[in-house]
Amino acid sequence: MDLVRLIYTSTITEKFEVDDIARILKVARVKNKALNVTGLLSFNRQFFLQCLEGTRQDVNQIYHKIATDPRHKKPEIIDYQEIPHREFDGWNMGYLQNTESLRELF
């Protein structure tokens, strides 16, 4: 079965509220678990950065849902490739706080 990893960034819109992170993670963890999609989400005051891993079909399906979410805009895929194994096995959507070390990445 083809495993892929998709990484994208997007820009937070005015519809986004800080409490939305908890809401997004709650829904994501249930839905991603059902599809066996794993990954990581991070955000700063301006941008989201998310990594999704799973079968090609499942990752594409979730990404297409996420990409039209009004809480963010301008989603840009920065990496999409087949992977031999998952980096975030067991994390149906981990949350990475915006720390000093992530500042440069954003």
Ligand X SMILES: Cc1cc2nc3c(=O)[nH]c(=O)nc-3n(C[C@H](O)[C@H](O)[C@H](O)COP(=O)(O)O)c2cc1C
List residues near ligand X by CB under 6 A. Answer: 24, 27-28, 31-32, 41, 48, 50, 62, 65-66, 69, 71-72, 93
Q: Which is nearer to ligand X, 5 or 28 (CB)?
A: 28
In the complex, least distance from residue 11 CB atom to ligand X, rounded to whole angstroms:
10
- Closer residue to ligand X (CB): 44 or 69: 69
For residues 70 and 83, give the distance between their C-alpha atoms in angstroms, rounded to a whole number.
Answer: 30
Torsion angle, alpha carbons of 95, 62, 53, 60, to 10: -150
Backbone angles phi, psi at 35, to 5 degrees: -100, 0
Smallest separation (angstroms) from ligand X to the CB of 31: 3
Nearer to ligand X, 31 or 56 (CB): 31
Residue 52 contacts residue 106 (beta carbons within 8 Å): no
Residue 36 pairs with which residues in a beta bridge?
A: none
